[in-house]
Amino acid sequence: MILQTIRSLLIFTRPYPWAIPTLVVLGLAASLAEGLGIGLIIPLLDNMLQGRGETAASGPLADLLGRVTAFVSGDHALLVLSLLIVGLVSLKTLILAVDVYVSTRVIAHSMSDLRVALARQLLLVGYDFFSRVPQGTLINLLGSQTYRASEALRALTTLIGSLSTVAVFGLLLLLLSWQLTVVVLLLVLPVWLIVRALAALAHNWGEQVVTSYSSLSERILELLVAMRTIRIFNREQAEVQRFAGAAQGVKRAYQRTETLNQLLPAVVEFLYVPIFVVVLGVAWYLEIGIPTLLVFLLLLYRLQNPLKRANTSRVILASYAAGIRDLHALLDRSDKPYLESGTNRIERLHDGIEFDRVTFGYTGTDTAAVTDVSLSLKAGSVNAIVGDSGAGKSTLIHLLCRLHDPQAGTIRADGIDLRELDLPAWRAHIAFAGQDAELMSGTVRFNIAYGVDEASEEGIEEAARIAQAHEFIVTLPGGYDAEVGPRGTRLSGGQRQRVALARAILCRPDILILDEATNAVDGVTETAIQAALERFSTDTTVVLVAHRLNTLKRAQHVIVMKEGRVVQQGPPERLLAVRGALQELYAAHHALDGRGATAPGA
Ligand SMILES: Nc1ncnc2c1ncn2[C@@H]1O[C@H](COP(=O)(O)OP(=O)(O)O)[C@@H](O)[C@H]1O
Ligand SMILES: [Mg+2]
C-alpha cells in the first residue's frame, strides 16, 4: 500500500533521477556524522573517568573508537576529542542544509512539472473527455491535489532522511551493544504495528478528502459562474446552504486526518518512554559500562525524532494516496479518448467539404445526435444550417472542426478524410465564433488577437470594423486596452459576440464557422456584419448557423436539419418556394409574430 504510493510519487520525480539517491546519501552522511560525534563521547568519557574506578567502555564500537582515537592521548586528548565532536556535529548541520536545499528544489520542480503535465493533458485529451468528468474534480486535481502531492513528496523526503538516521543509528546501537539493541527492537515493533494500523485508517480517510474537496470545487465553480442567476432567483440562502454542505464534508475529512497526523508524534513519543526504562534495567543486569550506556541512551534519545518523523510521514503518505492515485489516473493516456492526427495536409480548400453518411452520438447517450448526414459545402460558398434547437447543427460543426470523429461515415476535405489530415494544420484552416463567445480575461485587443501569433494594430482594427465592433470598442474606457473581465463579463452579450467574431475574422481563415455567432446582435447590425463579411471574404468558405431569414437568403446553400437528419438542402430561393421543412420552419414563426424575421430556436 505505502510502497505503491511511494512508487507513484517517484514517477513525479523521474525528470530528476539524481534527486532521491542524493537525498539517501546525504541522509546517511548526516546521520553518520552525528552518530560518530555522539560515539566519540565514549573515548571522551573514558579519558575523563580514567583512574576513578569506573567501569571502562566495552563493545565493538567502543573498541573501534578507542583504537581510532588512540593517537590523541595525553594532555590534549580532551580538547581534541571535544573539537572533533563539535566538528562532526557542525558537519551534520551543513549536510542537513544541503539536504533541505536539494529536497525543496526537487519538490518544487517536480510539482511544477506535474501541474504543467496536467494542463497539457487537459488540452490534448479528446474533447469528449470533458462531458464525462465533472469540472470540480478537475479543478480539485489541478489545485488542491497537486498541493497535497507536494506535501506527500515532502513526507517522502522526510521519510528518506529519517530512515537513513534510523539505519545508521541502529547500526551504531548494534555495535554498542547487540543485547540492548535486540531489546529495543522488540519494544519498537508494537509501535510500528500500531502506526501501521493508523496508516490504514488514514488511507481510507484520504479517499473522503479527495471526494469532499472535489464537491467543494464544484460548488465554488458554480457559484462564480451562475452568480447572476443565483441572485435574481433569490437563491443566495439556498446556495449558502449547499455550500455549507460541501464545506462540511471537507471539514469532517480535514478534522479526522489532521487530528491523526498531529497526534501521532505524541503517541509515538509516549510509547517510547517505557523503552528507556527497560533499557536501563537490562543494562544494569548486563553490567554495561557507564560510557557505553550513556552513549547508547543518547543515541536512543536522538533516534526518537527520526522515528517520530518516519511514522508521521508514513501516515501522511497513506492519507494522500487517493489524491496521488487520481492525479496519475488523470495523466494516464491509455483509458482516454485521443484523436489521432494524420499526416496529410491541404494547402487551401479547393473543392469543398463533404459529409458522407455521417452518424455521431455523444459518449454516454443512447441516441445519435446526427444520423446519416450527407451534404457538401462548396469551397468559397456561403452555407447556412438551420433547424430547431437540438437538431444537431452544432454537432455537425464540432465534427467539421474535428472535436469528435464520426462513428460511421466520413467527412472529407478536398476528397481527403479529415482523419488523415494533420490535426493542427486542419484546424489552422478554420476560424470559429459561437453563441457563447468564449472570451478570456484580458484586454479587448488580446481577445481579438487570440487566434494569431502576431497581429498588427491595423489588422485588429480592420477585423473589429468588419465585426461592427470598432464603434463600441472606442467608447470603452481604454478602448482596445479595456479589460473585458472574467470570461468577458464586462461586455454585453452582443458586444462579446462581436469581439469573438473579430477574433475569427482576424485569422483570415479558409473556412469561417459562425454558430449562432450573432444571435445576440440586433438585426440591423447583423446585416451590416454580413455585408462587410461578404466584401472581405470572397474566397472564404462560410458555414453559418442562423435563424434570421435575411441572413439565410444571402446564403448560396441551405441545409435544413431535423432531429439529427438533413431533411432538405439546396439554394434558399428554391427551398422557400416549395412546401417543405424550411417553409414549415418559417411559417410556424410567421404565425407567431408576423414578421418572419427569425425562426424558432433562435
Ligand atoms: N456534450 C454533449 N453530450 C451529450 N449530448 C449532447 C452534447 N451536446 C449536445 N448533445 C445532444 O445532441 C443533440 C444535438 O445537439 P446540438 O448539435 O447542440 O443541437 P443544435 O446546435 O442544433 O441546437 C441534442 O439532443 C443534445 O442534447
Ligand atoms: Mg447549437
Instruction: Report the distance separating Cα 377 and Cα 375, nearest Å.
Output: 7
Atom of ligand 1 nearest to the CA of 389: 23
Our answer on whether the CB atom of 394 is closer than 6 Å to any ligand 1 atom is yes
Which one of 394, 544, 559 would you pick to mutate in the ligand 1 pocket, going by the greatest count of ligand atoms within 8 A of its CB?
A: 394
User: CA of 332: how far to CAs of 17, 123, 131, 258, in Å?
Assistant: 21, 14, 18, 30
Our answer on whether the CB atom of 395 is closer than 6 Å to any ligand 1 atom is yes
User: From the CA of 330, how far away is ligand 2's center (Å)?
Assistant: 29
Our answer on whether the CB atom of 291 is closer than 6 Å to any ligand 1 atom is no
Q: What is the pLDDT of residue 595?
A: 47
Cα dihedral 129, 130, 134, 136 in deg (nearest 10): 120
The grid coordinates listed for 114 are 506535474
The grid coordinates listed for 256 are 479526522
Closest CA to 449 of 508, 394, 493, 397: 508
Our answer on whether the CB atom of 538 is closer than 6 Å to any ligand 1 atom is no
Instruction: Report the distance separating Cα 249 and Cα 382, nearest Å.
Output: 54
pLDDT digits (tens, 9 = 90+) for 263-310: 888 888 888 888 889 999 998 898 888 888 888 999 999 898 999 899
SS3 assignment, position 372: strand
Our answer on whether the CB atom of 434 is closer than 6 Å to any ligand 1 atom is no
User: From the CA of 544, how far away is ligand 2's center (Å)?
Assistant: 11
Our answer on whether the CB atom of 371 is closer than 6 Å to any ligand 1 atom is no
For the chain, the average pLDDT equals 90
Instruction: Report the distance separating Cα 545 and Cα 440, nearest Å.
Output: 23
Atom of ligand 1 nearest to the CA of 364: 4
Tell the residue nearest (CA) to atom 16 of ligand 1. Answer: 392
- The DSSP-derived string for 75-103 is GGHHHHHHHHHHHHHHHHHHHHHHHHHHH
The three-state DSSP-derived secondary structure of 499-530 is HHHHHHHHCCCCEEEEECCCCCCCHHHHHHHH
Q: Looking at 33-42, 51-60, 275-284, 428-437, which range is the least confident one? A: 51-60
Domains in the chain: ranges and CATH: 2-331 (1.20.1560.10), 345-429+512-523+544-602 (3.40.50.300)
Residue 358 phi/psi, 5-degree rounding, is: -85, 130
Instruction: Report the distance separating Cα 49 and Cα 44, nearest Å.
Output: 9
Would you say how long the chain is, in residues?
A: 602
Which one of 131, 362, 544, 567 would you pick to mutate in the ligand 1 pocket, going by the greatest count of ligand atoms within 8 A of its CB?
A: 362
> Residue 467 carries which side chain, given as an amino acid letter?
A
Our answer on whether the CB atom of 387 is closer than 6 Å to any ligand 1 atom is yes
> Residue 9 carries which side chain, given as an amino acid letter?
L
User: From the CA of 423, how far away is ligand 1's center (Å)?
Assistant: 23
What is the average pLDDT across 24-29?
Answer: 96
SS3 assignment, position 428: coil
Q: Looking at 55-64, 81-90, 127-136, 518-527, which range is the least confident one? A: 55-64
User: From the CA of 514, how far away is ligand 2's center (Å)?
Assistant: 10
Starting at the edge strand that comes first in sequence, how are the strands of the sheet with 541-545 ordered? Answer: 430-434, 511-515, 541-545, 382-387, 557-562, 565-570
User: From the CA of 397, how far away is ligand 2's center (Å)?
Assistant: 9
pLDDT digits (tens, 9 = 90+) for 421-436: 999 999 999 999 998 8
User: From the CA of 517, how far away is ligand 2's center (Å)?
Assistant: 10
Our answer on whether the CB atom of 373 is closer than 6 Å to any ligand 1 atom is no
Instruction: Report the distance separating Cα 432 and Cα 437, nearest Å.
Output: 10
User: CA of 192: how far to CAs of 90, 186, 267, 316, in Å?
Assistant: 31, 10, 12, 15
Tell the residue nearest (CA) to atom 3 of ligand 1. Answer: 362
What is the average pLDDT across 525-546?
Answer: 88
Q: What is the pLDDT of residue 31?
A: 95
User: CA of 24: how far to CAs of 31, 89, 159, 199, in Å?
Assistant: 11, 19, 10, 23
Tell the residue nearest (CA) to atom 12 of ligand 1. Answer: 369
pLDDT of 315 higher than 60: yes
pLDDT digits (tens, 9 = 90+) for 370-419: 999 999 999 999 999 999 999 999 999 999 999 999 999 999 999 999 99
Instruction: Report the distance separating Cα 336 and Cα 128, nearest Å.
Output: 9
Which one of the ligands is nearest to 516 CA? 2
More confident of the two residues 11 and 602: 11
> Residue 432 carries which side chain, given as an amino acid letter?
F
Q: What is the pLDDT of residue 601?
A: 45
Our answer on whether the CB atom of 390 is closer than 6 Å to any ligand 1 atom is yes
